[in-house]
């Protein structure tokens, strides 16, 4: 079964991860722009980061037969960095129309500050202008209130709910999201928060409509194989192959394909592992593409 991980930060991962993901059936991924750990103090750092998400990282994924897309945004945490936040908003229009950019994200709340709310609303507006869906991060602290405020803001801004993917849901927030027209993402983690077994219970209870799962793997303790591992668990508890395929393949394509930036055909277009001998020529990864300056 082909699988799609619609939220993974590959910039923080290795080629071993790409290989394992490809072997496990992952044919396509979405890499949302996010907080890179070290606070950024210059807008130019964002500019280079966005360029690497649409250039170098997409190329790196292709070496392993994985189609790479991204979402671009000012992330919720750095909405609180004065002097940089507005400059990133001003920079985004020059990137949002580029090939491979399939949504504005991740936006939303972290500490639920007024600055976060301001830039969240500003980016809903950008998504409208560029005819893109949005990927919304929900906070790890005070998640229920953050989710409620998120839904309220989407409604206030009259952003089309079917173009909203609210991510990192749990047992408490999922019913709130499903009561709207928004889609519901679930990040499956190794030790904390949502895991495969809890996800299987949610699928048994709520079904598969508007439901997505992802690994949210990044530079922290995380597992880039959580989508295939969740598929195995869903199968073990008796969910049908058709329903599993809806969650791990069809739904991400249906959601991100709404405005024509992504199709099923394109998402599976690289889904074969290339011959390593042809590609690597003795290097660990092919280098020297025009997307990388100065190498
Ligand atoms: Zn993320």
pLDDT one-digit tens code per residue, 140-183 = 899 999 999 999 999 999 999 999 999 999 999 999 999 999 99
Query: Cα dist. 211→14, 81, 145 in Å?
Result: 28, 33, 21
Ligand 1 centroid to residue 283 C-alpha, Å: 30
Average pLDDT of the segment spanning 55-66: 97
CA of 281 to the centre of ligand 1 (A): 33
Cα(225)–Cα(188) distance, integer angstroms: 10
> 282: CA distance to ligand 1 center in Å?
33
Under the banding of pLDDT at 50, 70 and 90, the label for residue 47 is: very high
pTM here is 0.91
Determine the distance separating the centroid of ligand 1 and the alpha carbon of 106, expressed in angstroms.
7
Q: Please check whether residue 258 is in contact with residue 162, taking contact to mean a CB–CB distance below 8 angstroms.
A: yes
| Confidence (pLDDT) at 277 | 52
Closest CA to 151 of 168, 171, 166, 133: 166
Cα of 171 to ligand 1 centre, how many Å? 19
> 32 CA to middle of ligand 1, Å?
6
Does residue 197 have a pLDDT over 80?
yes
pLDDT confidence of 19, banded at 50, 70, 90? very high
pLDDT at 220 over 50: yes
**Which residues have CB under 8 Å from 55's CB, separation 6+?**
289, 291, 292
Q: Quote the ligand 1 centre to 264 CA distance (angstroms).
A: 23
| Buried-exposed string 211-247: b where 16+ CB fall within 10 A, e elsewhere | bbbbbbbbeeebbbbbbbbbbebbeeeebeeebbbbb
46 Cα–ligand 1 center, Å: 16
- Residue 223 C-alpha to ligand 1 middle, in angstroms? 13
Q: How far is the CA of 167 from the centre of ligand 1 (A)?
A: 9
DSSP-derived 3-state class of residue 214: strand
Distance from the alpha carbon of residue 135 to the mean position of ligand 1, in angstroms = 10
β-pairing, 134-137 vs 164-166, is parallel
Cα atoms in the 13 Å half-sphere on the side-chain side of 201 = 7
Gap from CA of 216 to ligand 1 centroid (Å): 5
Contact 19, 64 (CB under 8 A): yes
Nearest to 213 by CA among 180, 183, 172: 183
Q: Does residue 294 surpass a pLDDT of 70?
A: no
């Amino acid at each position: 079964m082909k699988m799609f991980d619609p939220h993974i930060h590959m910039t923080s991962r290795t080629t071993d991860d790409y290989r394992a993901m490809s072997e496990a059936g992952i044919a396509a991924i979405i890499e949302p722009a996010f907080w890179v750990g070290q606070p950024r103090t210059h807008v130019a750092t964002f500019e280079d980061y966005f360029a690497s998400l649409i250039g170098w990282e997409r190329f790196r994924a292709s070496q392993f037969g994985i189609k790479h897309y991204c979402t671009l945004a000012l992330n919720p945490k750095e909405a609180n960095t004065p002097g940089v936040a507005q400059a990133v908003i001003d920079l985004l229009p020059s990137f949002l129309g580029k090939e491979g950019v399939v949504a504005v994200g991740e936006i939303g709340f972290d500490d639920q500050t007024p600055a976060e709310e301001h830039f969240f609303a500003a980016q809903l507006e950008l998504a409208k202008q560029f005819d893109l869906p949005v990927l919304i991060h929900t906070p790890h602290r005070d998640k229920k209130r953050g989710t409620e405020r998120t839904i309220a803001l989407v409604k206030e801004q009259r952003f089309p709910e079917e173009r909203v993917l609210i991510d990192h849901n749990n047992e408490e927030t999922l019913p709130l999201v499903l009561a709207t027209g928004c889609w519901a993402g679930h990040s499956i983690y190794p030790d904390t928060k949502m895991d495969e077994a809890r996800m299987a219970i949610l699928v048994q209870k709520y079904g598969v409509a508007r439901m997505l799962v992802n690994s949210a793997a990044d530079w922290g303790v995380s597992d880039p194989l959580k989508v295939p591992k969740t598929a195995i668990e869903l199968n073990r508890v008796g969910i049908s192959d058709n329903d599993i395929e809806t969650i791990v393949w069809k739904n991400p394509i249906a959601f991100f394909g709404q405005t024509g930036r992504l199709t099923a055909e394109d998402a599976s277009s690289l889904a074969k592992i290339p011959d390593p001998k042809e590609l690597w020529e003795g290097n660990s990864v092919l280098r020297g593409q025009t997307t990388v300056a100065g190498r």
